[in-house]
């Protein structure tokens, strides 16, 4: 356990070293918040509500979803590159579990991103952008739990996709594809209740809405009461299934390494 903790710690220090990327990220997020703000301001210029959501509810949803989406991807890139350049063979010989190590590093990454990035920026958003707090404290608590589940699901889904690097070399394409699918189905762009009925039904059976939509819908009160608890249940289901699926696919993929290795 200790060694994985060390990996997480080192990863945080690595981040502190690359300040250029930190500022680039911060600045880009600020820009996106501006685009979002003006876009939705224009959308609401001639009406007061859409599907029951007033402007401040909508902007709250979109901004919180934007922040959450930053945390639902993981170290897939890292794993994919290790596989592509063949280092995975060496990594597998080392005295740790590669997947656990990567998840530990990812955790370090996310903690530092949260503290240095998301937290100060969301405080800014609260002050300047009409963002509201959860309606009830229970809702807030449930949101925290649900968001952690969403991040968990996203992290493992990311690793699952990365394993495909055993079969393709276009990692950039894989990454873009994954992000497109997630922004489609996860509700990161707009609340899923705005989507057509059939689309909502499809996404009900996919793991993506559990990443962003469920937690943020709980936060903004779109989901409450029994609905919220049911959604949480589906999150638990996906969290467990993805973990199992990852284990299975990983053990199949590793066999491929030994075949190549020679």
> Minimal distance in Å, beta carbon 171 to other proteins?
9
> Minimal distance in Å, beta carbon 67 to other proteins?
16
Q: 30: closest CA among 92, 122, 107, 93?
A: 122
Q: Answer positive or negative: Cα dihedral of 219, 225, 226, 227.
A: negative
Position 119 contacts other proteins (CB under 8 A): no
Q: Mask: binding to other proteins, 151-190, rule CB under 8 A, as x and -?
A: -----------------xxx-xxx-xx-xxx-xx----xx
> Minimal distance in Å, beta carbon 41 to other proteins?
7
Return d(Cα 134, Cα 103) in angstroms, integer.
30
Are 234 and 214 in contact by the 8 Å Cβ rule? The answer is: yes
Position 227 contacts other proteins (CB under 8 A): no
Are 183 and 189 in contact by the 8 Å Cβ rule? The answer is: yes
Q: How far is CA 77 from CA 48, 82, 111, 154, 170, in A?
A: 42, 9, 18, 13, 11
Nearer to other proteins, 46 or 251 (CB): 46
Q: Which stretch binds other proteins (CB under 8 A): 42-50, 120-128, 136-144, 211-219?
A: 42-50
The number of residues that bind other proteins (CB under 8 A) is: 39
Q: Which of 194, 206, 249, 257 binds other proteins (CB under 8 A)?
A: 194
Return d(Cα 84, Cα 79) in angstroms, integer.
9
Q: How far is CA 49 from CA 32, 41, 52, 57, 132, in A?
A: 23, 12, 6, 9, 16
Q: Which stretch binds other proteins (CB under 8 A): 22-30, 96-104, 155-163, 239-247?
A: 22-30
Position 47 contacts other proteins (CB under 8 A): yes
Return d(Cα 169, Cα 103) in angstroms, integer.
23
Nearer to other proteins, 24 or 240 (CB): 24
Position 45 contacts other proteins (CB under 8 A): yes
- Where on the chain is the footprint of other proteins (CB under 8 A)? 20-21, 23-25, 27-28, 31-32, 34-35, 38-39, 41-43, 45-47, 50-51, 168-170, 172-174, 176-177, 179-181, 183-184, 189-190, 194-196
């Amino acid at each position: 356990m200790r060694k994985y903790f060390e990996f997480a710690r080192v990863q945080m220090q690595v981040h502190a070293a690359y300040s250029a990327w930190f500022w680039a990220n911060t600045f880009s997020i600020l820009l996106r918040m501006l685009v979002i703000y003006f876009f939705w301001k224009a959308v609401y210029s001639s009406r007061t509500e859409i599907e029951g959501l007033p402007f401040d509810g909508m902007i709250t949803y979109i901004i919180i979803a934007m922040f959450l989406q930053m945390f639902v991807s993981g170290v897939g890139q890292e794993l994919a590159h290790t596989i592509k350049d063949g280092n995975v063979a060496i990594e597998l010989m080392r005295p740790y579990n590669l997947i656990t190590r990567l998840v530990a590093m990812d955790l370090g990454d996310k903690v530092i991103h949260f503290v240095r990035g998301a937290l100060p920026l969301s405080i800014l958003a609260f002050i300047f952008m009409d963002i509201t707090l959860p309606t009830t404290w229970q809702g807030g608590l449930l949101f925290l739990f649900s968001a952690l589940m969403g991040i968990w699901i996203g992290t493992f889904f990311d690793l699952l996709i990365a394993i495909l690097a055993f079969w393709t070399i276009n990692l950039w394409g894989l990454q873009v594809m994954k992000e497109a699918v997630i922004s489609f189905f996860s509700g990161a762009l707009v609340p899923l209740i705005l989507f057509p009925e059939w689309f909502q039904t499809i996404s009900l059976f996919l793991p993506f809405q559990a990443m962003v939509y469920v937690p943020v819908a709980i936060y903004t009160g779109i989901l409450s009461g029994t609905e919220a608890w049911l959604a949480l249940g589906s999150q638990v289901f996906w969290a467990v299934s993805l973990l199992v699926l990852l284990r299975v696919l990983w053990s199949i993929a590793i066999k491929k390494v030994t075949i190549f290795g020679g």
